[in-house]
Structure formats: C-alpha cells, structure tokens
C-alpha cells in the first residue's frame, strides 16, 4: 500500500479470482466485454437479468438490426456534437440524436453514408485527435445551422474566451457546424495517444497558459521542467511496521501537497491538504498499532489470530493442493525466501522487467493538490514519474488519456 | 506484464475460468489469455501510496516485490462474519477514506521486501 521513504519500489501487482478471503473481496460482477465497451449501451445490458445465452442473443439481434438499418441508409447519418467535449476529445452518441435538435448546445451535421462508423445503436464512442491530418469538407445541415446562429447568446464573451474559441475551432473537429468532427481523424479510446501529440493539443488549446509553465517543448522532445516539482511535507510523526520476519521498519512518509504557487490562499490550502493526508495515514497506522500484542504484530506473536500466514517458499511448494486452497480461504499468505534477483534496483534494468521502456504506460498519482479542473490528469500525474527526485534528468514517456469524465467540461 | 507466468497451479482459478470461457460465443478458442488485464507491473517512487480500496474488479491479488519496500495493510473483521452477508460492506462504520475507532474492522499490515510474495 505504501512505498517507504527513501525507497522506490517496483512490484508486480497481479489480480486473479483466486477464491475469496475474509479480508478483502469485491462486489462487482463480471461484465461481458461488449457491454464494457458500449458506454450507454452497457446500462441496458446491466439491467438485463438474463443468462449468458439470452444476452448474446440480444447482442446478435442488435447487430443485425444495426446492419439492416445501415444498408437502408441512402443519404447518411446524423451525428450530435456536444459542447461538453474538451479540446481534442469529443463524444458522439448516435443513440441520443433523434428529436434532440432543440438542445441549445448541439450542432447537427450530415455525413456521407460511408462515415457511418458510429452507427451501432446506443454506442458512445470516445475519440481522440490525430493532429496534422487533412480535414474533409463536409456539408452542414443548413436548417440546424441557421437555427443555432439565431440562438441568443446568454452573455457577452470576453476577448480571451473568443481567442480560445478561435483556437479550438482551428483544430480539426471543433465544436461548430463549420468545423465538424470527422471520425476518421480520430483514434479510438483503446489506442493510446502519445504524450507528444497530447501535450501539443493541450498547449494549442486554452490550457497553454498553465501548462507551458510546466512543460517544455523543443522540436519533438517534450519534457517537464525541473523547477516545478510539487512540494512535499513530512508526516507529523514517524510510522512503524514489521516485515514478515519480525524486523521493525520505521519511516516518515511525505506527501505531495501543492505545486509552489504564490498566494496566501494557496498556502492555506496547502496546509489543509497536508492535514487531510496526514490524518488519514496517521489513523491508518494507529489502528494497525492498536492491534499489536506486546508491541509486535499478530503475524509475529500470534499467527493463528492474524490475517497473514507467513510461509517459507519451500514449504509452500510442498503443500498439497487441498491444504493450500483451504489456507487461502482463511488467510492471506505471505511467502518468504522466494527466489529473486537481489541485484535488481530502481533503474533502467529494473524498469525493463516491468515493461519495455518505449512502451506507453498509464500514470497515476495525486502530486498536484489544487483544483483538479485546472490540469489534465495525465500531465499532473506524469510529473511524479518524470521527476522521481529533485535531481537528475526527467524521463521521457508516454501516457494514456484518462477517462472523459475526469476532464474539464469546458475550457 | 508480457512475461508474467500463466502456468496452471493449485490456486490460479482465473486460468481455469479462462479455459472454460474459450470457445464460447464472443471468445474464440484461439484468443490468448488476457494477460494485460490481470498481470501488471507497478513502479512507484518513494512515499507513493494508495489509500484503502477494494482491489481490481473484486479479484484477489498476488504481489511480488522486485525492489524497494511496500507496506501492505488489510481490513479484518473483528468478529468472524461471512462475506456472503449483504451487510458486509454496508455497515455505517465501514469507510474506505477514513479509519475511525467505531469501525468493525481491524487493520493489519506487513512490510513486503524483495523475496516476499503475497
């Protein structure tokens, strides 16, 4: 759960439905893969209290229905472009289109029948930008365009907002009828988008004023500036825990709380944020220490009452299958003396054991504690990975874009 | 992890489940085991932390330390109770974002090092 201070950690975290223990379990049932991908369609599937066969039958039926409709189309399909989409990311939900023209924040365009990619019923398609690709000329629906032009503005836009809109419209697939989305220009959500293209798209958008203070772009190279590492604050008191052999480990965790912003208000927020993390971690270890017997954890002094069962690797190998499965029902097994490479370190060679260094990886973290709507998660989260210490050269890597709901709804 | 072990053993029921799933509608028999969804590597810097959570998809987890150290804590019910109870995670004192004294759960933790496999 926690990597100890002055220790970087690498591990292989692997999940498998290996029975159920009394300590942890999950309540989420497996969802058919098709339902996972289908966005709003998955809601329908979740409500179906049917067995597997009837589920797949319904999927087949929907597919045939969609194919039949597509073949009957002569002109094309209508796509809705919601203005909630952030730069470089749009949502197309064909299932919501019909009879929805009255919405004030939508534009409708007609695409040739060959563009019927999003034709599957109730399918929410998340797409990403591919920069520098030609944008096809598409005919717009005049009726809806005129309707939208006559729509009264709720308030006058500032100069900055106008600039932002112009920049946004200059990207392929903006949020107006004159600059429609072409689904062929986008990669699917499941295809990772390189950090380079991603950062460029953001820098060209309204976030540039913030991001350029963190990100440096030189030609094809994108790095994170070293002078902006978020501050860390140590916990108020050291924590202690014991390993499987009973050795005590004492450490003082530190928390990223805020980048070095400059106002008194932010300094006040910094202290509040630190208290939140400090309280949580302190509570966590206080509850752990409350269960100690004579200052030692249960897995050392009274293993029969402990959630953990410490087993030597050799003994584990000799256990009968039934004995092993019975043990796993009741306990969390911690093996010791497992053969391993003791020379492994947190370096290039060590990282290579986890993943090829040029592969795209997802990055998680909470190294920025400010308003989460100010930053795109992969950028702020990449910070920690790229700047693992206050010195050295930042690593170059790529990252996935996060789920849409984690992005700001407006620029 | 591309090189993670998928050798059948006495406890890897995920491999058994996959064996039964292959060949059914929507899952061709030649599909490879979805290693990328069940086995992955983590690299964390010092003080990296994940607060209390229920692990991925309700699966159980096994974890091997390559280098560094990691504290792994688990909730444990004070009184023996079955997880088949619908109230197992619905008690008002059960929190994932805080650990207060009213909780019905105890906490235990172990420091994992290279050579440990949880």
B25-75: pLDDT as tens digits: 888 888 888 887 888 888 887 888 887 887 766 677 888 998 999 999 988
Q: Does A27 touch chain B (CB under 8 A)?
A: yes
Query: Total domain count for chain A?
Result: 2
A9/B61 touch (CB, cutoff 8 Å), yes or no: no
Separation between Cα atoms, residue B43 and residue B41, nearest integer Å: 7
Q: Select from A24, A34, A253 the Cβ nearest to the Cβ of B47.
A: A253
Chain B residues inside the 8 Å CB shell of A307: 74, 76, 108
Compare B6 and A364 and report the one with higher pLDDT.
B6
Q: Measuring CA to CA, how many Å separate A250 from each of A234, A353, B12, B68?
A: 13, 28, 35, 14
Compare B101 and B29 and report the one with higher pLDDT.
B29
Give domain status of residue A282, yes or no: yes
Q: Where do we find the tokens 């370096």?
A: A347
Q: Does A246 touch chain B (CB under 8 A)?
A: no
Do A109 and A169 reside in the same domain of the chain? yes
Separation between Cα atoms, residue A273 and residue A257, nearest integer Å: 6
Q: Does B26 touch chain A (CB under 8 A)?
A: yes
Task: Please report, in tens digits, the pLDDT of each residue of chain A (411 residues total).
Answer: 555 555 555 665 555 443 333 333 333 333 333 333 333 333 343 444 445 556 566 656 666 665 555 444 433 333 333 333 333 333 333 333 333 333 333 333 333 433 334 333 333 333 334 444 444 444 444 444 455 455 555 567 788 777 777 766 666 555 566 766 666 655 555 444 455 555 555 555 544 444 455 555 555 555 555 445 556 778 888 889 999 999 999 998 887 665 444 455 555 555 666 677 778 888 888 889 988 998 899 999 999 889 899 999 999 999 999 999 899 888 899 999 999 998 988 888 888 888 777 777 776 654 433 333 333 333 333 333 433 333 333 333 333 333 333 333 332
Cβ within 8 Å of B, A 215-234: 232
Question: What local confidence, expressed as pLDDT, does residue A372 receive?
Answer: 38
Give domain status of residue A349, yes or no: no
Chain A residues inside the 8 Å CB shell of B70: 1-4, 9, 11
Nearest CA in chain B to A292: B108
Do A105 and A182 reside in the same domain of the chain? yes
Chain A residues inside the 8 Å CB shell of B55: 15, 24, 26
CB A141 within 8 A of CB A101: no
Spatial CB neighbours of A199, under 8 Å, sequence gap ≥ 6: A211, A215, A217, A222, A379
Average pLDDT across chain B, whole number: 81
A8/B43 touch (CB, cutoff 8 Å), yes or no: yes
Distance from CA of B103 to the nearest CA of A (A): 10
Separation between Cα atoms, residue A265 and residue A372, nearest integer Å: 16
Q: Select from A3, A32, A351 the Cβ nearest to the Cβ of B46.
A: A3
A3/B60 touch (CB, cutoff 8 Å), yes or no: no
Do A176 and A236 reside in the same domain of the chain? no
Separation between Cα atoms, residue A75 and residue A115, nearest integer Å: 11
Give domain status of residue A331, yes or no: no
Give domain status of residue A180, yes or no: yes
Q: Does B28 touch chain A (CB under 8 A)?
A: no
List B112's β-bridge partners, or say none. B70
Q: Where do we find the tokens 């991603």?
A: A198
Spatial CB neighbours of A348, under 8 Å, sequence gap ≥ 6: A357
Question: What local confidence, expressed as pLDDT, does residue A82 receive?
Answer: 32
Q: Is B76 helix (H, G, I), strand (E, B) or coil?
A: strand
B74/A307 touch (CB, cutoff 8 Å), yes or no: yes
Spatial CB neighbours of B57, under 8 Å, sequence gap ≥ 6: A15, A26, A28, A30
Distance from CA of B118 to the nearest CA of A (A): 4
Do A64 and A182 reside in the same domain of the chain? yes
Q: Does B96 touch chain A (CB under 8 A)?
A: no
The pair of structure tokens assigned to A13 is 């975290």
Do A237 and A185 reside in the same domain of the chain? no
Q: Measuring CA to CA, how many Å separate A275 from each of A31, A234, A264, A299, B71?
A: 39, 11, 17, 31, 21
Closest Cα partner for A15 from B15, B73, B87?
B15
A3/B44 touch (CB, cutoff 8 Å), yes or no: yes
Q: Does A249 touch chain B (CB under 8 A)?
A: yes
Separation between Cα atoms, residue A260 and residue A369, nearest integer Å: 11
Identify the domain boundary among A306, A325, A357: A306
Give domain status of residue A19, yes or no: no
Do A77 and A171 reside in the same domain of the chain? yes
A9/B48 touch (CB, cutoff 8 Å), yes or no: yes
Instruction: Measure the CA angle with vertex A88, ends A87 and A90; round to 5°.
Output: 90
Do A44 and A184 reside in the same domain of the chain? yes
Question: What local confidence, expressed as pLDDT, does residue A297 receive?
Answer: 92
Phi/psi at A310 (5° precision): -90, 120
Phi/psi at A134 (5° precision): -65, 145
Q: Which domain holds residue A88?
A: 37-148+160-191
Question: What local confidence, expressed as pLDDT, does residue A358 receive?
Answer: 74
Do A42 and A182 reside in the same domain of the chain? yes
Do A174 and A240 reside in the same domain of the chain? no
Give me the long-range contacts of B22-29 (CB less than 8 A, separation at least 24): B25/A56, B26/A32, B26/A33, B26/A34, B26/A56, B26/A59
Give domain status of residue A131, yes or no: yes
Give domain status of residue A315, yes or no: no
Best mutation target, B26, B111, B118, to test chain A (most A CBs within 10 A): B111
């Amino acid at each position: 759960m926690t990597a100890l201070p002055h220790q970087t950690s690498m591990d292989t975290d692997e999940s498998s439905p290996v029975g159920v223990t009394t300590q942890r379990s999950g309540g989420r049932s497996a969802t058919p893969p098709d339902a996972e991908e289908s966005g709003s369609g998955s809601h329908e599937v979740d409500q179906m209290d049917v067995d597997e066969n009837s589920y797949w039958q319904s999927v087949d039926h929907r597919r045939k229905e969609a194919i039949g409709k597509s073949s009957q189309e002569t002109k094309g399909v209508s796509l809705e472009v919601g203005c909630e989409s952030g730069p470089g990311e749009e949502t197309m939900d064909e299932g919501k289109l019909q009879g929805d023209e009255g919405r004030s924040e939508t534009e409708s365009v007609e695409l040739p029948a060959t563009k019927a990619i999003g034709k599957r019923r109730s399918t929410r398609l998340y797409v990403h930008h591919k920069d520098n690709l030609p944008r096809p000329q598409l005919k717009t629906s005049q009726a809806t365009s005129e309707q939208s032009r006559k729509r009264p503005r709720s308030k006058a836009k500032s100069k900055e907002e106008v600039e932002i809109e112009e920049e946004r419209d200059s990207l392929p697939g903006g949020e107006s009828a004159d600059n429609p989305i072409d689904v062929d220009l986008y990669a699917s959500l499941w295809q990772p988008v390189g950090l380079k293209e991603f950062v460029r798209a953001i820098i060209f958008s309204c976030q540039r004023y913030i991001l350029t203070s963190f990100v440096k772009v030189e030609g094809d190279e994108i790095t994170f500036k070293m002078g902006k590492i978020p501050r860390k604050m140590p916990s108020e008191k050291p924590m202690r825990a014991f390993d499987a052999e009973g050795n005590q480990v004492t450490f003082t965790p530190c928390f990223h709380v805020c980048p070095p912003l400059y106002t008194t208000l932010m300094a006040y927020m910094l202290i509040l944020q630190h208290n939140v993390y400090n309280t949580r971690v302190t509570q966590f270890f206080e509850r752990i220490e409350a269960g100690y017997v004579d200052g030692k954890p249960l897995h050392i002094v009274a293993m029969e009452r402990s959630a953990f069962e410490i087993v030597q690797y050799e003994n584990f190998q000799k256990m009968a299958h039934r004995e092993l499965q019975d043990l796993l029902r009741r306990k969390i097994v911690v093996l010791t003396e497992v053969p391993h490479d003791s020379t492994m370190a947190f370096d290039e060679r060590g990282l290579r054991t986890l993943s090829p260094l040029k592969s795209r990886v997802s990055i998680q973290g909470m190294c920025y504690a400010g308003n989460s709507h100010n930053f795109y998660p992969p950028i702020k989260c990449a910070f920690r990975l790229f700047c693992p210490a206050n010195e050295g050269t930042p690593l170059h890597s790529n990252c996935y874009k996060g789920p849409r709901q984690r992005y700001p709804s407006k620029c | 992890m591309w090189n993670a072990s998928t050798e059948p053993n006495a406890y890897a029921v995920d491999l058994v489940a996959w064996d039964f799933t292959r060949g059914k509608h929507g899952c061709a028999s030649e599909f490879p085991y979805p290693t990328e969804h069940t086995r992955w590597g983590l690299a964390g810097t010092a003080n990296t932390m994940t607060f209390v959570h229920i692990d991925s998809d309700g699966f159980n987890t096994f974890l091997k330390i390559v280098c560094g150290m990691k504290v792994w804590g688990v909730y444990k019910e004070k009184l023996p109770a079955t997880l088949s109870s619908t109230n197992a995670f619905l008690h008002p004192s059960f929190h994932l974002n805080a650990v207060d004294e009213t909780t019905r759960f105890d906490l235990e933790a172990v420091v994992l090092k290279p050579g440990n496999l949880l």
